[in-house]
């Protein structure tokens, strides 16, 4: 009976908590999510709570709240210039999964391993797969928050913006553009959310370093994709690029950690 209660409780807590939060978001004067986005965010949040507990939930909520906040920086100015996020920054389903698909897959992987459906082999080439998946989870949101912050701060406050592939000056809001102000803000954001992951016990201090380095790598590669490929392919929308961005960040962090583990052995 106790095992049944333990297995049901996380679902009940997740559904109850996120239904309450969804209701509060629904009546809030400033909408952070569209109606469809709210449902998808509700489903995502339940998945994260059930697989990673409140610790994983804290990371995704930090990303959502801070990311939504920085999106509104200089909103009136960005809307006047035509470079603001659509719907005044309210997230739809495409934004939810563009930002969180990689993290959700990492969380699902941890959940599957912890459930006992998959038992890692002692001879596996992958050391401690749960830890690497948790690192990938935090790194994916560290990457996305860095990207969002760099983009929004750069569009609002960037004094000089350059195309990452040529370093030629371009208008703010150009795909693939970077600025000193945005880059520094993105680094700060990646450090902040990585420390949230450390504070709740998902990663260690070395993991913080891997997340920050991976976020920097992935965010700049995302700018390269934006500058070179995005305009050539209709299917390569901002949301698809965001999925690649977070995936690169998660993989980079895991590879950095794996290389470090191999080096010190």
The residue among 123 and 142 whose pLDDT is bigger is: 142
What does the alpha-carbon distance between residue 204 and residue 28 come to, in Å, rounded to a whole number?
36
The residue among 52 and 2 whose pLDDT is bigger is: 52
Of the candidate ranges 113-127, 156-170, 192-206, 235-249, the one whose mean pLDDT is the lowest: 113-127
The residue among 106 and 21 whose pLDDT is bigger is: 106
Rounded to the nearest integer, the mean pLDDT of the chain is 87
Phi and psi, residue 169, nearest 5°: -60, 135
Most confident of 27-36, 173-182, 209-218: 209-218
Domain ranges, ordered by start, for the chain:
2-264
State the pLDDT at residue 264: 79
53-80 per-position pLDDT tens digit = 999 999 999 999 999 889 888 777 776 6
pLDDT tier at 5 (50, 70, 90 boundaries)?
very low
What does the alpha-carbon distance between residue 136 and residue 222 come to, in Å, rounded to a whole number?
17
Q: What is the mean pLDDT of residues 97-111?
A: 96
- What percent of the chain lies above the pLDDT cut of 70? 88
Of the candidate ranges 22-31, 133-142, 184-193, the one whose mean pLDDT is the lowest: 22-31
Of the candidate ranges 142-146, 176-180, 208-212, the one whose mean pLDDT is the lowest: 176-180
185-241 per-position pLDDT tens digit = 999 999 999 999 999 999 999 999 999 999 999 999 999 998 898 888 888 898 999
The residue among 137 and 16 whose pLDDT is bigger is: 137
The residue among 265 and 50 whose pLDDT is bigger is: 50
Helix (H, G, I), strand (E, B) or coil at 64: helix
The answer to whether 139 and 253 have CB atoms below 8 angstroms apart is: yes
Picking from 38, 11, 37, the residue whose alpha carbon sits closest to that of residue 92 is 37
State the pLDDT at residue 121: 55
Please report, to the nearest 10 degrees, the dihedral formed by the alpha carbons of residues 219, 224, 230, 231 taken in order. 140
Q: Which residues of 77-110 are buried (b: 16+ CB within 10 A; e: fewer)?
A: ebeeeebbbeeebbbbbbbbbbbbbbbbbbbbbb
- What percent of the chain lies above the pLDDT cut of 90? 56
State the pLDDT at residue 132: 94
Picking from 97, 125, 114, 118, the residue whose alpha carbon sits closest to that of residue 247 is 97
Most confident of 29-43, 79-93, 96-110: 96-110
Q: What is the CA radius of gyration of the chain?
A: 19
State the pLDDT at residue 168: 92
User: The pTM is what?
Assistant: 0.90
Please report, to the nearest 10 degrees, the dihedral formed by the alpha carbons of residues 180, 210, 114, 100 taken in order. 10
| Residues facing residue 91 across a β-bridge | 33
Element (H, E) at 162: strand 161-163
């Amino acid at each position: 009976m106790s095992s049944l209660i333990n297995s049901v409780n996380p679902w009940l807590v997740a559904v109850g908590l996120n239904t309450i939060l969804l209701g509060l978001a629904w009546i809030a004067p400033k909408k952070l999510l569209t109606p469809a986005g709210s449902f998808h965010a509700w489903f995502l949040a339940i998945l994260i709570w059930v697989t990673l507990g409140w610790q994983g939930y804290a990371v995704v909520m930090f990303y959502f709240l801070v990311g939504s906040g920085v999106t509104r920086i200089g909103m009136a100015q960005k809307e006047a210039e035509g470079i603001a996020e659509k719907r005044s920054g309210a997230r739809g389903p495409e934004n939810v999964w563009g930002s969180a698909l990689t993290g959700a897959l990492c969380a699902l992987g941890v959940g599957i391993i912890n459930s006992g459906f998959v038992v890692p082999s002692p001879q596996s080439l992958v050391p401690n797969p749960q830890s690497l998946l948790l690192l990938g989870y935090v790194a994916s949101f560290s990457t996305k928050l860095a990207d969002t912050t760099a983009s929004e701060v750069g569009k609002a406050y960037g004094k000089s913006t350059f195309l990452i592939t040529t370093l030629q000056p371009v208008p703010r809001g150009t795909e693939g553009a970077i600025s000193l102000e945005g880059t520094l803000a993105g680094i700060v954001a990646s450090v902040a959310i990585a420390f949230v992951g450390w504070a709740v016990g998902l990663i260690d201090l070395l993991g913080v370093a891997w997340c920050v380095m991976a976020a920097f790598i992935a965010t700049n590669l995302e700018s390269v994709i934006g500058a070179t490929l995005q305009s050539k392919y209709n299917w390569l929308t901002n949301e698809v690029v965001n999925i690649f961005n977070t995936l690169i960040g998660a993989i980079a962090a895991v590879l950095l950690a794996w290389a470090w583990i191999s080096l010190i052995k």
